[in-house]
Amino acid sequence: MNTNQLRQEIIDYSKEIGVDKIGFASADVFASLKDRLKRQQELGYQSGFEKGSVAERTEPDRLLPEAKSILSIALAYPSRMKDAPKSTRDERRGIFCRASWGVDYHKVLKEKLEKLAAFIEEHMSDARTKLMVDTGELSDRAVAERAGIGFSGKNTSIITPEFGSYVYLGELITNVPFVPDTPLEDGCGSCTKCLDACPTGALVQGGQLNAQRCLAFLTQTKDFMPDEFRPKMGNFIYGFDTCQAVCPYNKQVDVHNHPEFEPEPEVAKPKLKPMLRISNREFKERFGHIAGSWRGKKPLQRNALLALGHYKDTTAVDDMIAVMTNDPRPVIRGTAAWSLGKIGTDEAFAAIRKAKDKETDDDVLAEMEKGLGFATSPTN
């Protein structure tokens, strides 16, 4: 079979296995990405979650010798949750970003890519392949852009004409020289909605992201949340997708092609108070299958405490005092103290003062001071 026939068969097969969009790109060096990554490194804009050196991230033949092409696939995910439970005054809820609503996409896309790799190898005996989803060296977005899946928006997402930016991306490098697709034209024009909506100024003009200011990244860190970002998080406990929600290309888009990506409302929008006392086992059972659990329960609990503070949820004060007093993790004790101060009841302040007498960790003590500071803050 020649490569053009195989290319068409791959496209047909990808539809059969539930791939929403597929594109082909050359495996040439990603030269402009290389420059951008170097600049990002110099400016300190990286998240720290990146894999591989700049060379590995931009030179596909370092990952698969004799790489000739890269297949990019996209699977669309829902943007609206059916039967979303209400967050009430007595029972406040957090929210995971849309990309973490269903079964972990890494797993789903990897299965599709494995099928595509097997298909190619079956039809071409000397074909070799290497696949990756999100955590690989290659930039899913740079590949998707080159393969004509979508254009790269100012919010740094790949925006497809069919599904907006609510797509998961993955890719497969191969030594088979497929004819490449043509990249799409930039579609942002003079729009700046995402830049204007980003509450932390993480989007730098020209499609650059300062990950150190991006709430999607910061919600995944395990240390104390820097003070500046705490009031900006609202009830997001994992990820942050406001820059996608405001994008005109996403306005009418809500795709439900994959049962795996349907959100379980009680998981995607969980009650906050029970998050504070969830055991490791319960956490694994309840959240272990979604992408948002990959950093364990600590960042989610820290974010849940901040969300309770944001809501000034007086019904959570007892639970938060218990956490501030008994939790072995300083980040959790300290964040509880800060958020109790935010809630600002007499009981909360009294509890912080009492706990402060016994606290020995300097970072937690500093958070307690900040929490007590809200007693006299005119803006709290």
**Two structure tokens written together for 319:** 């639970």
Q: Residue 379 burial (CB < 10 Å; 0-12/13-18/19+)?
A: exposed
Tell me how far, at minimum, the Cβ of 164 lies from ligand SF4, in Å.
9
Q: Residue 285 burial (CB < 10 Å; 0-12/13-18/19+)?
A: exposed
Any contact of residue 246 with ligand SF4 (CB under 6 A)? yes
**Two structure tokens written together for 212:** 């150190």
Q: Closer CB to ligand SF4, residue 188 or residue 211?
A: 188
Q: Which residues are annotated as a binding site for [4Fe-4S] cluster?
A: 188, 191, 194, 198, 214, 243, 247
What track of x and - describes contact with ligand SF4 for positions 114 through 133 (by CB under 6 A)? Answer: --------------------
Binding residues among 145-184 for ligand SF4 as defined by CB under 6 A: 153-155
Q: Which residues are annotated as a binding site?
A: 57, 97, 134, 139-141, 152, 155, 158, 169, 188, 191, 194, 198, 214, 220, 222, 243, 247, 280-281, 295, 297-298
Any contact of residue 188 with ligand SF4 (CB under 6 A)? yes
CA dist., res. 250 & res. 243, Å (int): 10
Closest-by-Cβ residue to ligand SF4 is 153
Any contact of residue 247 with ligand SF4 (CB under 6 A)? yes
Any contact of residue 216 with ligand SF4 (CB under 6 A)? no
134 is catalytic: yes
How many other CB atoms sit within 10 Å of the CB of residue 110?
Answer: 16
Q: Residue 193 burial (CB < 10 Å; 0-12/13-18/19+)?
A: middle
Q: DSSP characters for 274-320?
A: HHHT--HHHHHHHHTTSGGGTT-HHHHHHHHHHHHHHHT-GGGHHHH
Q: Which of 238, 33, 225, 63 is nearest to 145 (CA)?
A: 33
Any contact of residue 191 with ligand SF4 (CB under 6 A)? yes
What track of x and - describes contact with ligand SF4 for positions 319 through 348 (by CB under 6 A)? Answer: ------------------------------
Tell me how far, at minimum, the Cβ of 336 lies from ligand SF4, in Å.
36
How many other CB atoms sit within 10 Å of the CB of residue 43?
Answer: 12
Instruction: Give me the active site residues, please.
Output: 134
| Binding region for ligand SF4 (CB under 6 A) | 153-155, 188, 191-194, 246-249
